[in-house]
Amino acid sequence: MAAHSQYERSMEAAWNSADNLAVAQLWWISRDMTALAEDTVQAGDFPKMDAPAQSGLIFFDGGIQTVTFTVIDDATGRKVGAAHVSALFWQCDGDGDIELMGFTDHPCGLTECDAKSFSLPVVKITSDVFNRHVGGIQWFCDLLHAVWALSAEPHICEAKPAKPDTAHPLPPRFDPEIRKVKMLVLRENLHRPGGSADNDEQVRREYTHRFIVRGFWRNQAYGPDHSLRRRQWIPPFVKGPADKPLICKETVRIWKR
């Protein structure tokens, strides 16, 4: 009886997960926005946002670069490469916690699961990938919170519906489904330094790349005569011209006695 009840619970959980996945919000995060979100998690102190929906599926363009996991050939037991988490599915339980499911687009995983015959771009990865990473599953939860926080900043992030790809057209019946996907794209800095100043011939420094200026908390003045203070998060942003590559460097902190 106990085994039967456990089987019923596991089947109910599987069906609930499938139902949530079928109705989940669909997000697509550009490569630069992914890098900004990962760096925000590394910085650590940022506002934790509530989930925008009961469930959602987020695809990260290029994959999550901070986390890699080893791919092993089942036949030989040898390492055949490293893969990235390319998508995360979240669902909120009744207690306010977030349950996560990870996916990868690594070619070995797609071939092993015969994903091509089902027209699947990703396959599910095991939960131990979350546990092996430094920070565990909490790091991935923090990444979701960083994405949600950045998506609420209109001067940092541009949120727009997806459009059908003219280069690889699909049947018209798929157009309404494609437009349900929410795309988060980094707003580019269109200013290109290096030209002459308006009032002299001095040439300003030319940036060789784009870089992230990290967010921080500020005691913001407000109220009558700015006499009151409140803790305000100043979100991170990317500095540098749009035609330069985004380079994320490790932060080095020097402590002086």
pLDDT of residue 63: 92
pLDDT at 9 over 60: no
How would you label 170-197 residue by residue, b for 16+ Cβ within 10 Å and e otherwise?
Answer: eeeeeeeeeeebbbbbbbebeeeeeeee
Task: Tell me the pLDDT tens digit for each residue of 80-117.
Answer: 677 889 999 998 876 778 888 889 888 877 877 777 77
pLDDT (tens digit per residue) in 32-91: 999 999 999 988 888 888 898 888 999 999 999 888 877 766 667 677 677 889 999 998
Report yes or no: 66 and 250 within 8 Å, Cβ to Cβ: no
Look at the pTM and tell me if it is higher than 0.85: no
Q: Copy the structure tokens of residue 7.
A: 């089987």
- pLDDT for 154-180, tens place per residue? 888 888 877 776 666 667 776 777 777
What DSSP element (H or E) covers 219?
strand 216-222
Mean pLDDT of 210-236: 85
Q: How far apart are CA 21 and CA 140, in angstroms?
A: 18
Residue 40's pLDDT is what?
A: 93
pLDDT score, position 59? 93
Residue-wise pLDDT tens digits, 174-211: 677 777 788 888 876 655 444 444 444 443 457 788 88
- Mean pLDDT (whole number) for 226-245: 83
